[in-house]
Amino acid sequence: MDNMVPAGKILRIIPTALYSGKELASYLGIDSRTLETWRRLDLHPELRWRRVGRRIRYLGADILHFLNDGVSPRPKAARPQPKREKP
pTM comes to 0.69
Does residue 84 belong to any structural domain of this protein?
A: no
56 within 8 A of 33, measured Cβ to Cβ: no
Count of domains observed in the chain: 1
d(CA 5, CA 1): 9
Q: What is the pLDDT of residue 69?
A: 80
Does residue 28 belong to any structural domain of this protein?
A: yes
Q: Which helix (H) or strand (E) holds 68?
A: helix 60-68
Q: What is the pLDDT of residue 46?
A: 87
Does residue 79 belong to any structural domain of this protein?
A: no
Q: What is the pLDDT of residue 2?
A: 41
Does residue 23 belong to any structural domain of this protein?
A: yes
Does residue 74 belong to any structural domain of this protein?
A: no
Does residue 38 belong to any structural domain of this protein?
A: yes
Q: Tell whether the torsion through CA atoms of 69, 11, 35 and 50 is positive or negative.
A: positive
Domain of residue 43: give its range: 18-68
Q: What is the pLDDT of residue 68?
A: 87
The values of phi and psi at residue 55, to 5°, are -100, 150
Does residue 64 belong to any structural domain of this protein?
A: yes
Tens-level pLDDT at each residue, the chain (87 residues): 444 445 556 678 999 999 999 999 999 889 999 999 999 998 888 899 999 999 999 999 999 999 888 666 555 555 555 566 666
